[in-house]
Amino acid sequence: MLTRRKLLGTTAAFGAGVAVQALLPAWARSGVHNNVKGLRALSGTNFDLIIDKTTVMIDGRRGHAITVNGQLPAPLLRFREGDEVTMRVTNNLEEDTSIHWHGLLVPFQMDGVPGVTFPGIKPGETFTYRFPLKQAGTYWYHSHSGLQEQSGHYGPIIIEPKDADPVAYDREYVVVLSDWTFEHPHRLFAKLKKMSETYNFQQRTIGDFFREVREEGLGATLNDRLMWGKMRMSPTDISDVTGATYTYLVNGHGPKDNWTALFTPGERVRLRFINAAAMTIFNVRIPGLPMTVVQADGLNVQPVEIDEFQIGVAETYDVIIHPQADRAFTLMCETIDRSGYARATLAPRPGMEAEIPPLRPRPLLTMKDMGMAHDMTTHGDMTTHGDMSGQDAMDHSGMDHSGMDHSNMGHSGMNHAAMGHDTMAQGGTMQKHNHPTGVGVDSTAMMPVNRLHEPGLGLEDVPHRALTYADLKSLDPNPDHRTPEREIEIHLTGNMERYMWSFDGVKFSEVTEPILFYKDERLRMTLVNDTMMSHPIHLHGMFFDVVNGEHHHKPRKHTIIVKPGEKLSVDITADAVGDWAFHCHLLYHMHAGMMQVVSVREKTREKAQ
């Protein structure tokens, strides 16, 4: 049966070679004609995917991409829940490649991570992936080889639900966000290793100093500078790789290309956002148009109306918009460090444009982002300075509490009312660090706090509704209600100066043992972010039940942003035997070592050994 969505979504599915704009699938159709090449949907159960090098045009400039079927992003794959699909992937590159099906619950030997779940796909080789589809929703796929993801090797997946879709809409678009650089990714990474601030052109200057002296007074400004200086850290370290090298893309289109999605006023439009960037966390808003979040990481959530959301690398959000006016809207996807933006237009007719809002000033990190929850000391039940006498023993790279000025640290951003006291209590105690801290660890969070009630770095003060993880509640009750039998704590660690990243102070190159899960156990994974950056943490093969309250509607996610200085918990049902990649989805953090393997094993067999 051809549904309305199918008509809109897959008309070009079998029309190989058809490049007429009108015949392009809805998700790829744009009001602009200069980069329509390659945005196609494929559907069915059998797919041929060819990995190759392709010349692409980004904002009028020629670049070399690694593509799937010659397309950037790779073709939209439209699956149907319950089907078994077969993908023959041919590697035409001169190096190994792979495809990982991000968020899909597949048998581990089909997960596509070279060196963990399979050997990779050699040049000239065709590898066949085959697996049943146990879920529905918005997902994506990408290379897990080297830095290919940076070069364009990613594409969207939509899995149609077997039963009726609880989300009603008249039209849908996929919005694949990504970051593109004309530099070679290996050169880019090498620069970060040599000079980690290479791409940060938003550091604090002498001018900022004098402005702050005027605003805050000399004493406070000096104290602030001395405090950060003593730690040898910069409160402007928001993104490692920025608009200084990146062009930010929507469905392969730069801001100048202005990808345009058409709607008829009064329609309910479903936007399926996928953050397929290598390194960029985006803040997404549509000025003048509220969004109702209906899905997160492929799974339905109870609808929540918001005006802006932060989307970490590898996360997906589906939202419904309901534009009534006969006017264009700008889909504004500002980077977390506000060094650039991806932009698209929603319009009733091609060629229409709306105003592009100016980039907002980049945020500055605070002591809270350092895992020193000092801006919460006013909260009564929080520890005061006097209780922290034990800190010297913790090798905290020379932090000076005397130098801190609390008036300077953005209390205004805190929503005390919204913070549950249980989470405060969790964060209010001194954090233990039972992991190696050596050269690769430049700080440890002494008092990390739960920040699930906060919308993400830099959105604390926006004058409108910004989504928080605490707002998300799954539509269906969680399949597993068991209380976790075991808790494991994992610390996100790094050294910004040397550009080293790791879990528990150990880079993947030095890891000797995987993280062990036992088959069917229910366990709690607590993540402590010792660094000053937001890390989107991704576990393959299993979903995280994000512990944002004591209820059975925890949002289930494959990727979760752990904010700087945050401690949060996710519950996991270890129902998928095998070895699974577990890593920060910021590509260069993973490449620098922020990765581990989670090995799910039969408990009895383990004992027998």
Partner 1 sequence: MKYLLTLCALLSLAATSVHAQTAADAYYDPAEMEKARTALRQETGGQTFTFVQADRLEYQTNEGEGVLLWDAQGWIGGDINKFWFKTEGEYFLDADEFEEAEVQALYSRAISPFFDLQVGLRHDITPNPSRTHAVIGIQGLAPYWFEVDAAAFVSDEGEVTARIEAEYELLLTQRLILQPRTELSFAAQDVEELGIGSGLSTVEAGMRLRYEIKREIAPYIGFAWNRKIGDTADFARLEGETVDSLSFVVGLRLWY
Residues lying near partner 1 in the complex (CB under 8 A):
108-109, 114-120, 146, 190-191, 193-195, 198, 201-207, 226, 229-232, 397-398, 438-442, 495, 497-498, 500-502, 507-514, 577-579, 590-593, 595, 597, 599
User: Measuring CA to CA, which residue among 395, 391, 400, 369 is closest to residue 222?
Assistant: 400
Alpha-carbon distances, residue 340 vs 248, 333, 357 (angstroms): 7, 9, 12
Of the pair 109, 264, the CB lying nearest partner 1 is at 109
Of the pair 364, 500, the CB lying nearest partner 1 is at 500
Number of H helices, E strands in the chain: 7, 31
CB of 402 to partner 1, least distance (A): 14
- Angle at CA 175, nearest 5°, toward 288 and 296? 85
Of the pair 292, 397, the CB lying nearest partner 1 is at 397
- Angle at CA 586, nearest 5°, toward 589 and 468? 130
CB of 597 to partner 1, least distance (A): 5
CB of 206 to partner 1, least distance (A): 5
CB of 518 to partner 1, least distance (A): 14
Of the pair 36, 105, the CB lying nearest partner 1 is at 105
Peptide bond into 156 cis (omega under 30): no
Residue 220 CB-half CA count within 13 A:
12
CB of 323 to partner 1, least distance (A): 39
- Angle at CA 152, nearest 5°, toward 151 and 156? 155
User: Measuring CA to CA, which residue among 443, 446, 448 is closest to residue 423?
Assistant: 448
The Cα–Cα gap between 543 and 308 comes to 24
Of the pair 144, 253, the CB lying nearest partner 1 is at 144
Of the pair 4, 232, the CB lying nearest partner 1 is at 232
CB of 398 to partner 1, least distance (A): 6
Of the pair 269, 592, the CB lying nearest partner 1 is at 592
DSSP string, 489-545: EEEEEEETTTTEEEETTB-GGG--SPEEEETT-EEEEEEEE-SSS-EEEEESSS-EE
CB of 238 to partner 1, least distance (A): 14
Q: Which structure tokens are listed for 380?
A: 């009564």
Of the pair 202, 474, the CB lying nearest partner 1 is at 202
DSSP string, 350-401: TT---PPPPPPPPP---GGGGTB-GGGGGGSSS--GGGGGGGGGG--SS--S
Q: Which structure tokens are listed for 545?
A: 């039940």
The Cα–Cα gap between 331 and 329 comes to 6
CB of 365 to partner 1, least distance (A): 16
CB of 532 to partner 1, least distance (A): 13
CB of 126 to partner 1, least distance (A): 15
Residue 577 identity: V
Q: Tell me if 535 sits within 8 A of 568, measured CB to CB.
A: no
Of the pair 121, 296, the CB lying nearest partner 1 is at 121
Of the pair 68, 590, the CB lying nearest partner 1 is at 590
Of the pair 445, 597, the CB lying nearest partner 1 is at 597
CB of 109 to partner 1, least distance (A): 4
CB of 106 to partner 1, least distance (A): 13
99's CB contacts (< 8 A; 6+ apart) are: 49, 51, 68, 87, 89, 112, 129, 141, 142, 143, 144
CB of 590 to partner 1, least distance (A): 7
The Cα–Cα gap between 100 and 426 comes to 35
Q: Which structure tokens are listed for 83?
A: 């089907």
**What are the residues facing 529 on neighbouring strands?**
492
Of the pair 198, 423, the CB lying nearest partner 1 is at 198
The Cα–Cα gap between 368 and 416 comes to 14
Of the pair 78, 144, the CB lying nearest partner 1 is at 144
284's CB contacts (< 8 A; 6+ apart) are: 177, 273, 308, 309, 310, 311, 317, 331, 332, 333, 334
User: Measuring CA to CA, which residue among 191, 196, 135, 131 is closest to residue 162?
Assistant: 135
The Cα–Cα gap between 155 and 372 comes to 39
